[in-house]
Amino acid sequence: MPAITKKLPLRLPVELVELIIEDAWYSTARASDYFQKLSMDGSKRWLDVCTNMGKDVAQFSKDRWELHSTLSLVSHQWHEIMHRTSLRHIIIESAIDLLRYNATMHMSPKRMHFHLVISLGFEVLHKAGFPSRHDWTDVFRIILPIVRQCTLSRITFVNHIDTSYDFVGSIFSLFSQLPLLRVVHFDWTPSASQSTEFKMPPRLQLPHIVYFRLSHYPACPQLGKCTQDVHEPACISRYLLRGFPKLRQLHLGHPVFLKFLDVPHSLEVLILDVAPNPPFSSMMGWNIGAALNHGLFKRAEDEQPRRRIVVNTGAEEPTGWLQAQQACSGHEILLQRRCMFRQPDPVPRPPRKTSGEGNAKS
């Protein structure tokens, strides 16, 4: 009788399982895209709109933890990797996430990254449709022990929030209590970055932050006597970067006049995103030459290392590149270009009618 061989189940390499689970986990962070694509219906009551948005964001969190449970059931190995991934890469989009993470406080693997979305997912709405600012205070109080060991963070601000609450002050206060934190990303939507309520917290600095990324730089809220040259102490547009006195790298995702930025002397690398924007992409919005003439990256003759401006572009050279090269060369600034963005597909043109087709129709 031939020997009966038992087939062992196929096991994927651990590295591949980690990639599968990490990609699946990251894909559950959906609130940011949801709010950016959201269109307001003026015919609906504001209370109803807020309620629906809060329910949608809460559902994103429910789906995330359902995925967590499903993948954890595959095998003991998948369970361990799923658990480790969810604690190393913390996603907080609603109160549901806070409750789940709060229950894991006794487990303390190395926590690297957290992504907090400031949205209606946390808010308890009153009859008038306005959220309670005390709820936000509780949110930040609960978040602190969860993210205390994180080294990287991403904070997404959307426009549908309690605009009267001092989120910037609360974020700075939270970061000041995270001594391991090194990398910060303020992922502000365009409308949120234009908020007139954001204020610069007085005398609060974050010397442990060395890398700061901004999707959109905040606009001047026109406080009191703010002018082009003179700004109030609480003007976040003028003084935001003063909160990072040891900053080494600044990454800006949207054009802003660099000459108006009050960058710390410690800054070594300025990273600018110039994504392809048909019919052409341009660097003119940064006005690099004027910024350098105004004192950006000004240093002593023997000071090292040499300052750098890194421009992330598509495959094609953006308009204004030659002028930027000349300006940087004149100030001994190293200018580098990296092709980081995929070139968008050209818009197809409608076929031209031939004379024969025109005659046939007539």
Question: Averaged over 233-238, what is the pLDDT?
Answer: 76
Sequence-separated (6 or more) residues with CB below 8 Å from residue 234 = 199, 200, 202, 223
pLDDT at res. 126: 40
pLDDT at res. 207: 95
Q: What is the pLDDT of residues 55-85, one digit of tens each?
A: 888 899 999 999 999 999 999 999 999 998 9
In the three-class reduction of DSSP (H, G, I as helix; E, B as strand; rest coil), residue 108 is classed as coil
CA distances from 333 to 17, 253, 260 (A): 44, 20, 19
List, in sequence order, every residue forming a beta bridge with 90; answer none if it has no partner: 114
Percent of all residues in the chain with a pLDDT value above 90, rounded to a whole number: 32
User: Which amino acid is located at 280 in the chain?
Assistant: F
Q: What pTM was computed for the model?
A: 0.81
Percent of all residues in the chain with a pLDDT value above 70, rounded to a whole number: 71
Q: Compute the mean pLDDT over every residue in the chain, rounded to the nearest whole number.
A: 80
Instruction: Parse the chain into domains and list their residue ranges.
Output: 13-35+45-215+234-245, 248-343
User: How many CB atoms are located within 10 Å of the residue 51 CB?
Assistant: 14
Question: Averaged over 322-338, what is the pLDDT?
Answer: 93
pLDDT at res. 102: 82
Question: Averaged over 266-274, what is the pLDDT?
Answer: 94
Provide the pLDDT confidence category of residue 128 given band limits of 50, 70 and 90. Answer: very low
CA-CA distance, 269 to 330, in Å (whole number)? 17
Which one, of 137, 98, 138, 145, lies nearest residue 117 by Cα?
98
pLDDT for 267 beyond 90: yes
pLDDT at res. 137: 72
pLDDT at res. 125: 41
CA atoms within 13 A on the CB side of 234: 13
The three-state DSSP-derived secondary structure of 232-281 is: CCCEHHHHHHHHCCCCCEEEECCCCCHHHCCCCCCCCEEEEECCCCCCCC
**Of the ranges 103-117, 167-181, 189-203, which one carries the lowest mean pLDDT score?**
189-203
Residue 122 buriedness (CB in 10 A; 0-12 / 13-18 / 19+): buried
Most confident range, picked from 47-51, 239-243, 332-336: 332-336
User: Which amino acid is located at 104 in the chain?
Assistant: T
